[in-house]
């Protein structure tokens, strides 16, 4: 059982969900702390601030654990890409709550305070987080941490193993096969 658990933790999607779950909890704690203290009149701003802080934590955990073997050491370009993806993700995260509050008018006094809080929770932390999560995994995996490229290379090496000394594919030979022609320089 221990081995299957550790094997499961080798999957980038599982690590992404663990980091995301932790950052979701962090976002909720910060969001409600800010929303009910200093930004009572600005719930979407409170959510954006909370998501921004959790995104910094997410970068640290993502670069050092989630995609640790995909793209090597973190670089400035990687950090910049993460920042761009995160800003878009924060916008996607806040969009459903903004629509709920300012287009659908699901806020007090139009509806009860309890209904407002339920609408905020469903729109922001649930719908917004789901939308942003799908986008962020796709964009971070494809463009920032290059996990997609690393998996494709690993698949290629499984199909055609490479011999590092020859700089060409090393193909196992059987008795009836003809050796591959190699270029000489």
Give the pLDDT score at 29: 96
Give the pLDDT score at 88: 94
Q: What is the mean pLDDT of the chain?
A: 80
- Given a contact cutoff of 8 angstroms between Cβ atoms, the answer to whether 83 and 75 are in contact is no
**pLDDT digit string, tens, across residues 40-70:** 999 999 989 998 899 889 888 887 777 776 6
Show the low-confidence residues of the chain (pLDDT under 70): 1, 69-74, 147-185
Give the pLDDT score at 179: 53
Q: Chain centroid to CA 183: how far?
A: 43
Rounded to whole angstroms, the Cα distance separating 160 from 58 reads 35
- Given a contact cutoff of 8 angstroms between Cβ atoms, the answer to whether 90 and 132 are in contact is yes
Rounded to whole angstroms, the Cα distance separating 172 from 7 reads 29
Give the pLDDT score at 166: 54
Give the pLDDT score at 66: 77
* 1's tokens: 């059982």
* 175's tokens: 């008795």
Give the pLDDT score at 105: 94
Give the pLDDT score at 148: 63
Give the pLDDT score at 160: 55
Name the pTM for this structure.
0.63
Q: What angle do CA 174, 175, 180 make, to 5 degrees?
A: 65
Give the pLDDT score at 150: 61
Give the pLDDT score at 90: 86
Give the pLDDT score at 35: 93
């Amino acid at each position: 059982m221990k081995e299957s658990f550790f094997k499961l933790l080798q999957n980038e999607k599982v690590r992404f969900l663990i980091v995301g779950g932790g950052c979701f909890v962090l976002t909720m704690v910060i969001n409600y702390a800010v929303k009910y203290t200093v930004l009572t009149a600005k719930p979407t701003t409170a959510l954006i601030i909370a998501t921004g802080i959790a995104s910094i934590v997410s970068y640290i955990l993502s670069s050092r654990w989630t995609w640790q073997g995909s793209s090597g050491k973190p670089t400035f370009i990687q950090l910049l890409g993460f920042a761009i993806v995160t800003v878009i993700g924060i916008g996607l995260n806040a969009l459903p709550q903004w629509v709920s509050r300012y287009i659908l008018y699901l806020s007090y006094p139009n509806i009860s305070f309890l209904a407002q809080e339920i609408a905020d929770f469903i729109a922001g932390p649930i719908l917004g987080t789901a939308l942003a999560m799908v986008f962020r995994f796709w964009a971070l995996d494809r463009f920032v941490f290059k996990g997609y490229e690393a998996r494709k290379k690993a698949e290629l090496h499984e199909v055609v193993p490479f011999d590092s000394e020859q700089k060409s594919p090393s193909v196992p030979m059987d008795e009836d096969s003809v050796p591959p022609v190699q270029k000489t320089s």
